[in-house]
């Protein structure tokens, strides 16, 4: 059965205005118009189809949450969406790079000359100290640190995940790391206190 036109196509800005008041259908219309562009951009940056799909989902989620902040004076809706998509894609690439570097550092630590039994004992003690120190942090600080260092999320991704302002996330990470630095001083100084 042929589809009938429901009337003239609403401008992108009108869709964003509808999003800002919670109109889910407007999100679908915006996705129909710009989803292919967002996916192509994400794929060009992250180079993996599954990652590109995740980036697009995150980008449209951010558009949904932040529709009220769209400023038509700063550019088109398509440009705004492309900027969000690019940022999400670069955050993913950076997180991937951090994970790779952490794995490389861990592999290098295995080859630093300590006998394996000594290394296992040292690692066990370090793990217990880190776990205890993390457990002593206030829940909000511990949560953002776990998402950043164990989850590989960027600060922006953490803010989106927790529905918290980016500044709050940055403050919690900084405060939590300062507390950890203090409680892990013996480990960081090689056991000398």
Mean pLDDT is highest, among 18-27, 145-154, 174-183, for 18-27
Domains of the chain with CATH codes? 8-97 (1.10.1740.10), 99-193 (1.10.10.10)
How does pLDDT run across 30-39, given as a tens digit for each residue? 999 999 999 9
Q: What is the pLDDT of residue 3?
A: 46
Average pLDDT over residues 63-84: 94
Instruction: Dig out the tokens for 176 from the structure.
Output: 């939590």
Please state, as a whole number, how many other Cβ atoms lie within 10 Å of the Cβ of residue 145: 21
Alpha-helical regions (H) of the chain: 12-20, 24-46, 49-66, 77-110, 116-136, 139-149, 155-162, 166-183, 185-188
Q: What is the pLDDT of residue 1?
A: 43
> How high does pLDDT run on average in the chain?
84
Average pLDDT over residues 148-160: 84
Going by the DSSP 8-state scheme, the letter that residue 192 receives in this structure is -
- pLDDT band of residue 126 (cuts 50, 70, 90) is confident
Average pLDDT over residues 86-110: 80
Where is pLDDT greater, at 162 or 189?
A: 162
**Is 70 exceeded by the pLDDT of residue 113?**
no
C-alpha distance from residue 123 to each of 90, 93, 130, 131, 190 (Å): 33, 29, 10, 12, 12
Asked if 129 and 185 touch (Cβ cutoff 8 Å), the reply is no
Q: What is the pLDDT of residue 118?
A: 62
């Amino acid at each position: 059965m042929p589809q009938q036109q429901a009337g003239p196509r609403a401008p992108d800005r009108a869709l964003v205005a509808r999003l800002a008041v919670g109109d889910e259908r407007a999100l679908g219309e915006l996705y129909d118009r710009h989803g292919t562009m967002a996916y192509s951009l994400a794929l060009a940056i992250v180079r993996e189809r599954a990652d590109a799909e995740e980036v697009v989902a995150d980008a449209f989620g951010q558009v949904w949450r932040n529709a009220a902040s769209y400023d038509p004076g700063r550019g088109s809706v398509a440009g705004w969406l492309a900027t969000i998509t690019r940022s999400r894609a670069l955050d993913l690439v950076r997180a991937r790079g951090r994970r790779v570097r952490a794995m490389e550092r861990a592999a290098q630590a295995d080859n630093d000359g300590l006998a394996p039994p000594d290394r296992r004992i040292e690692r066990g003690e370090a793990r217990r100290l880190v776990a205890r120190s993390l457990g002593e942090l206030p829940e909000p600080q511990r949560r953002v640190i776990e998402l950043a260092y164990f989850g590989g999320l960027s600060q922006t991704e953490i803010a989106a995940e927790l529905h918290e302002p980016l500044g709050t996330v940055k403050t919690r990470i900084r405060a939590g790391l300062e507390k950890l630095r203090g409680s892990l001083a013996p480990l960081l100084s090689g056991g000398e206190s």
